[in-house]
Amino acid sequence: MKRFVYINDDEASKELSCDNRISNTKYTLWNFLPKNLWEQFSRFMNQYFLLIACLQLWSLITPVNPASTWGPLIFIFAVSASKEAWDDYHRFLSDKKANEKEVWIVKQGIKKHIQAQEIQVGNIVWLRENDEVPCDLVLLGTSDPQGVCYVETAALDGETDLKTRVIPSACVGIDLELLHRMKGVLECPVPDKDIRRFDANMRLFPPFIDNDVCSLTIKNTLLQSCYLRNTEWACGVSVYTGNQTKLGMSRGIAEPKLTAMDAMIDKLTGAIFVFQIVVVMVLGVAGNVWKDTEARKQWYVQYPEKAPWYELLVIPLRFELLCSIMIPISIKVSLDLVKGLYAKFIEWDVEMVDQETGTASYAANTAISEDLGQVEYILTDKTGTLTDNKMIFRRCCIGGTFYGNENGDALKDAHLLSAITSGSTDVIRFLTVMAICNTVIPVRGKAGDIVYKAQSQDEEALVIAAARLHMVFVGKNANFLEIRLNGSTIRYEVLEILEFTSDRKRMSVVVKDCQDGKIILLSKGADESILPYACAGQQTRTITEAVEHYAQLGLRTLCLAWRELEEDEYLEWSVKFKEASSVLVDREWRIAEVCQKLEHDLYILGVTAIEDRLQDGVPETIEILRKAGINFWMLTGDKQNTAIQIALSCNFISPEPKGQLLLIDGKTEEDVSRSLERVLLTMRTTTSEPKDVAFVIDGWALEIAVKHYRKDFVELAILSRTAICCRVTPSQKAQLVEILKSCDYRTLAIGDGGNDVRMIQQADIGVGISGREGLQAARAADYSIGRFRFLKRLILVHGRYSYNRTAFLSQYSFYKSLLICFIQIFFSFISGVSGTSLFNSVSLMAYNVFYTSVPVLVSVIDKDLSEASVMQHPQILFYCQAGRLLNPSTFAGWFGRSLFHAIVVFVITIHAYANEKSEMEELGMVALSGCIWLQAFVVAQETNSFTVLQHLSIWGNLVGFYVINFLFSAIPSSGMYTIMFRLCSQPCYWITMFLIVGAGMGPIFALKYYRYTYRPSKINILQQAERTGGPILTLGNIETQPRTTLEEEVSPLSIITQPKNRSPVYEPLLSDSPNATRRSFGPTGTPLEFFQSQSRLSSSSSGYSRNCKDN
Amino acid sequence: MPSNTASSSSAPAGSADSSASRTKSKRPKYSKFTQQELPACKPILTPGWVILTFLVISVIFIPLGVVSLFASQDVVEIVDRYDNDCVPTPARANKVAYIQGVSDKSCNRTLVVPKKMKQPIYVYYQLENFYQNHRRYVKSRSDSQLRSVKDENQIDACKPEDDVNGRPIVPCGLIAWSLFNDTYTLSKNNQPLTVNKRGIAWKSDREHKFGKNVFPKNFQEGNITGGGRLDANKSLSEQEDLIVWMRTAALPTFRKLYGKIESDLEKGDTIHVTLLNNYNTYSFDGKKKLVLSTTSWLGGKNDFLGIAYLTVGGICFFLALVFTIMYLVKPRRLGDPTYLSWNRVPGGGR
């Protein structure tokens, strides 16, 4: 599909008539209500509430005033709707601001000032320096005579460095005046969201130069939301406008993520729903039977002899309505509210602010904080995530000579410096490649110093290092580069740039030496993409060894190569290259193919080694999180040895003899299969050992393993706590996340670059590091943090607290609704099973909305353990991971508690208020106050730390209850007129309340004390330790206990068939059960020692490169 | 070119400035609340505190229970069930026919005062197995109609006792329609004993819920007669029997105030009650009782609260005792880190 854009021709472009109005809003004024309601009602819970509310309109069956349901329902819907409306309004405002921004365009040769939204496709738009680009433009002219301009694309891809954009070749040299009257046609693809591609062609109409088709790439475009920098002016023709721009197309609504906890709450809601249906059916049948036997005799009820057909349904439906509060309408609101607050706490946390850049953490997704506390697997990127992504050139190997080996810094290596001064050919060439084989832009700073603007950190490091070694890249003037070496200036003309792609893993430039006119190809790239193309005679052995050596030191390596080209060869190739560059379909692949034709017979100059420093606190963070039972997988695009070295240095894997590294490799299916089998065998036998076993796999083997031996690989994934996957592509990263998710593990993916975006989106929780590789990952992520070490706080503090708080809040919400519901059910047995409500409408409505929701909301600042204790004993996270605080059995506890409390309240009320006191309104209020008192004490008992707010809300709420009821009791027309005054003046009322509290809380308190002291959970022990001020330091032995404790009850094989064996209610996991002693599985096979595996590693990878060469 | 470089150097500086200010404003404000560091009291359940709490509860509850029990014991109560006895022996085979018949329903009962009863002595009638709380029944009333004349047509809720041939019934609904209509005439030692029937209903009901100028209309004129009739010349706010009856009871067994005796009764006094047994409880086997009772500060005779307090207090005392013994026999150090399984030497026995 193509579209044709006619430059400066309103008539011809009419069919594309799409103005530049940006609209990010979800609703319009007219469709807001229906659309919003439709969305809200697509959720089951809301449908349920609506159904209940509608049933209540039938006055025959409604036990209470319909307002008691409609009120809260409308309130809740209004809250959600106004939140949506508010967000949408802000989107509208920002759109409006962008739409009404004034821009200069040219229409019929006249320069005009119009609003941005009026730009049409085909208009020529003029921009000044620091202007924002209003729509996607194809560059036509700039202030620069060479047609270059610079843009900042931060809003688009988050990369903060400047990018060069050039005018198409056809437009070079067009006069400023002529630009106004320019005509032509652009053939471009239909709008898409790929911000790295724009495969189009342009043809200018006479009188403009020739009639040739000129190919366009993304280099010729100015995309919407970019800023023009360092360029006085630029103009371009608009090709995509409004929401059809690359930016507009890439906006998408992310799939909402559901936390494990939400799923559990949904499940429990479902269970309650089933329970409710059963209750309704039983009571409905009982009610009908009672009606037909007893109620007929009760003449004062006047049951008609003949009833309409639906009469049988009336009583069940009444009970359905009476029991409908079992599923509390308030739980949704409370959960939304507290989740929002969790996210705010993350953003407010000053300890998670990156001091260097001052960026605070950000929670883009406010709904999944609890999941953080349940993470079981962390998949992490290496570069920029574990490391700083600050590249520093450290060592090099030129022509077999190692530099920088002695002092660790090649820049200070005397041998290298002397080699430069002596002008050794290889060294000079090496430096030349370092300096010019890149896309770096030198910018002269104020003080005359040169600042390099680079897209890649490696390139920047190389150029800076070259400059330090007296090969200074001074300036870039269009296609001419200026190099200063020892005072003399060398000029090169760049003929072609063969760009870096992740598939090719190398980049090259073709330059012409302006002195002698020689054409040279300069290449740099990963060893496996350079070495196979070395010229036939050259020995690459030393190079391979150097690469190995550097990789073992954890350095990033690049091979540099050089080849002189014949003029003919270049010209011939250049034609093909041009052809490939103007293809519309599969351009990237075609270009790669053509590039391949030039990049061969390379003369390998040497290897550079760049250090990527570890971020602060990475080893500690990993250690703590692993102690917390979280498994780490490292997914990196880097070399195996580099990855292993980084892994070692950041505690990812332990060195021998504690750790053991198993390698899965192979080029063919059989190889991979065999090695996978072997690793699996070792894994199975060593699960009982307190040993850190990790496996290492590379992208190629991973591909095969996942494709053909998925079952085995899944088993391996379950067995191993640690894995290193190197040389993996972005899609493989996402695939690994998906595999772990399919085993029902909660995964967290953390990364910083564009290549991590897919993994971040795929994982249950995506965390982005707002680092130096741009903000792409941080934008896609649910949480963005400044540094890797904040992860431990994010998980152990915020995740854990969120989980605990939601666990309490949700179960408590069910408890209080069940409490009042059980009382209604009991009451129905003494009211002729007729479905009378003991409580009046006002009370029922206010119970969920006011009386019980305020105290529990304050549980969002409850802390069971101090942050310090959690950090000291990260193992405590296990309670969250295994879902110990919210699962069917804890829920059963709350269920039992509400049943017990309902019995207490009901029995005491009907006996204390028997005979002459058994007035309906009074009795109802006594029972209700009993519930309120009990719930206040329940919240108080379950609160671990009382702040002022807790006291205020718990006891203030109790006072509030009386105030509200006094108010209602003062209204003569209300049903409960004077009731509360009467009750409060009776000693009997207060005596009853004390009795209810005493009888209701006593046993629960005793039970809690018993469990707290004699069957304490680990949380309790830590609480006690923390608060008695005793020694909370761990004993000397802080040995990480491997995950084996989890699985030692079951043989490893059964784990595979049942990956979710870690039942949350399965007690002896962490506890001190006697059968938790380790079972040894006999002799542990033949453990591959680390050294062996190391040597195997090197031999295999050298074999690997040899393999490549043979290809 | 020079101008170009100058601008180039200024531009990044400017953007750096703006970004710096932006991040500065993004930096979260520090407060104890946002950092979740509000000073908090973190109580733990130490044995001492828990045992003390239970002891305190039992120390409060047991005396309270004793006091409540005494209060209840002080109340003198005479209960006389008459529904069965007031049906003449020949009619007992079919009590429903008797009660619905037209024969003389009067009946004489004799009560003996067991203990001195101080005034005021409340006269109640007690109904059992009567479901005033039945949903059909409890909803069948119109409060607005009771309150003011102009709302007399608001009878929607009153079905099936809403109107007679299109004329609204005042007061409408099943509750009013089934008004209790047994009457009692008391005499002490052959002297008439005045039962004051004024002021038996709640003051708030008389003044605000039942209108002073609302008079019964078309009451008990339908095809079936329910309970008592009302004096059409007395406004509803003066019909205290009706007002009391319309305060529906929440339990199937309930007492409603009939009147007050404002003189003391001595021990051994005999009280003759002449009652008209009009109200039909026979069709559903409901009991009818006449109750004469004094009151205490806790209300009528009700041992439940006292017993419940004693029980709860006793249990708390027992728990306190058990916890003390457990503490002495098997002391457990709180927060001992050796209880943390991960602090043990892994595989110590291996």
pLDDT band at A256, cuts 50/70/90? low
Q: Give the closest of B174, B337, B350 to A1032, CB-based.
A: B337
Nearest CA in chain A to B48: A1009
Residue with tokens 């002008």: A423
- Residue B347: list chain A partners with CB under 8 A: 690, 1077-1078
Whether A831 and B252 lie within 8 Å, measured CB to CB: yes
Write down the pLDDT at residue B298: 87
The answer to whether B178 contacts A318, with C-beta atoms less than 8 Å apart, is no
Q: Is the pLDDT of residue A183 over 70?
A: yes
pLDDT higher than 50, residue A691: yes
pLDDT at A587: 73
**Cβ pair A299:B30 closer than 8 A:** no
3-state helix, strand, coil in chain B (%, to 5): 40, 20, 45
Q: Which residues of A are annotated as a binding site?
A: 381-383, 459, 500, 524, 556, 636-638, 727, 733, 752, 755-756
Mutate to test the interface with A, among B10, B15, B31, B45 (most CBs of A within 10 A): B45
* CB-closest option in B27, B256, B342 to A360: B27
- Using CA atoms, how far apart are residues B300 and A914, in angstroms rounded to an integer? 9
Give me the mean pLDDT over the A1009-1033 stretch.
Answer: 78
Distance (Å) from the C-alpha of residue A773 to the closest C-alpha of chain B?
A: 17
**What pLDDT digit, counting tens, does each position of A137-174 carry?**
888 888 877 777 888 776 665 555 667 788 887 777 77
Chain A nearest-CA distance from B6, in A, is 7
Q: Catalytic residue numbers of A?
A: 381
Region A766-787: what's the mean pLDDT? 78
Binding site membership of A for ATP: which residues? 381-383, 459, 500, 524, 556, 636-638, 727, 733, 755-756
Kindly indicate the confidence band of residue A934, based on its pLDDT and cuts at 50, 70 and 90.
very high
Chain A residues in contact with B23 by the CB 8 A cut-off are 357-359
pLDDT above 60 (res A467): yes
- A1008, B45: Cβ pair inside 8 Å? yes
Residue A11 has pLDDT above 70, yes or no: no
Name the H helices within A830-943: 841-846, 853-857, 867-872, 878-881, 888-912, 920-942
Cross-chain Cβ contact B252/A830 below 8 Å: yes
Query: With an 8 Å Cβ cutoff, are B250 and A975 in contact?
Result: no
**What is the per-residue pLDDT for A1037?**
36
A919 vs B23, B161, B250: nearest CB: B250
State whether A913 and B41 contact (CB < 8 Å).
no
Buried b (16+ CB within 10 A) or exposed e, A1007-1024: ebbbebbeebbbbbbbbb
Q: How confident is the model at residue B344 (pLDDT cuts 50, 70, 90)?
A: low
Asked if the Cβ–Cβ distance from A978 to B204 is below 8 Å, we say yes
pLDDT at A17: 58
The alpha carbon of B7 is separated from its chain's Cα centroid by a whole number of angstroms, namely 83
Asked if pLDDT for residue B222 goes beyond 80, the answer is: no
What are the CA-CA distances from residue B103 to residues A461, B81, B276 (Å)? 117, 21, 11
Tens of pLDDT, residue by residue over A580-616, are 877 767 777 888 888 888 888 888 888 988 887 888 8
Instruction: Write the residue in B14, B28, B208 that is nearest to A360 by C-beta.
Output: B28
Least confident of A538-552, A769-783, A986-1000, B129-143: A769-783
Which segments of A are annotated as binding site for Mg(2+)?
381, 383, 752, 756
Q: Please give the full DSSP string across A470-488, using - where no structure is assigned.
A: TEEEEEEETTEEEEEETTE
Joined together, the tokens standing for residue A636 give 């990196």
Q: Do A977 and B208 touch (CB under 8 A)?
A: yes
Rounded CA-CA distance B180/B158 in Å is: 18
CB atoms within 10 A of CB A536: 7
Q: What is the mean pLDDT of residues A302-311?
A: 79
Distance, CA of A688 to CA of A1087 (rounded, Å): 13
Given strand B191-193, what is the order of strands in its sheet? B106-112, B270-276, B183-188, B191-193
CA distances from A782 to A354, A773, A800 (A): 18, 18, 17
Residues 6 or more apart whose Cβ sits within 8 Å of residue A699: A725, A726, A727, A728, A729, A732
What's residue A689's pLDDT?
64
**Candidates A229, A830, A998; nearest CB to B57:** A998
Most confident segment among B5-19, B215-229, B261-275: B261-275
Closest chain B C-alpha to A1029 CA, distance in angstroms: 9
Q: Which chain B residue's Cα is nearest to A59?
A: B157
Using CB atoms, pick whichever of B15, B255, B312 lies closest to residue A915: B255
Average pLDDT value for residue range A637-660? 77
More confident residue, A1060 or A988: A988
Give the residue-averaged pLDDT of A752-771. Answer: 81
pLDDT at B110 over 50: yes
The candidate with the shortest Cα–Cα distance to B65, out of B303, B234, B299, B338, is B303
The larger pLDDT score, comparing residue B265 to residue A586, is at: B265
The answer to whether A525 touches A507, Cβ cutoff 8 Å, is yes
Q: Is the pLDDT of residue B8 over 80?
A: no
Task: Show residues of chain A in contact with B26, CB under 8 Å.
Answer: 358-360
List, for residues A791-826, the tens digit of each pLDDT value.
999 999 999 999 999 999 999 999 999 999 999 999
- Spatial distance between the Cα atoms of A738 and B219, rounded to a whole number of angstroms: 77
Q: Which residue of A has its CA nearest to B311?
A: A999
Please answer whether residues A182 and A124 qualify as being in contact, where contact means their C-beta atoms are separated by less than 8 angstroms: yes
Q: Which residue of A has its CA nearest to B58?
A: A998
Q: The pTM is what?
A: 0.77
Of A658 and B276, the structure prediction assigns the larger pLDDT to B276
Burial of A391 (0-12, 13-18, 19+ CB in 10 A): buried
Rounded CA-CA distance A590/A595 in Å is 9
So what's the pLDDT on residue A363? 86
When pLDDT is cut at 50, 70 and 90, the band that residue A754 belongs to is: low
**According to DSSP H, which parts of A689-745 are helical?**
699-708, 710-719, 730-742
Contact B334 A1025 (CB under 8 A): yes
pLDDT at residue number A889:
92
For the segment B224-232, the average pLDDT, to the nearest whole number, is 82
Taking residues A63-91, report their average pLDDT: 77
The stretch A35-59 carries a mean pLDDT of 81
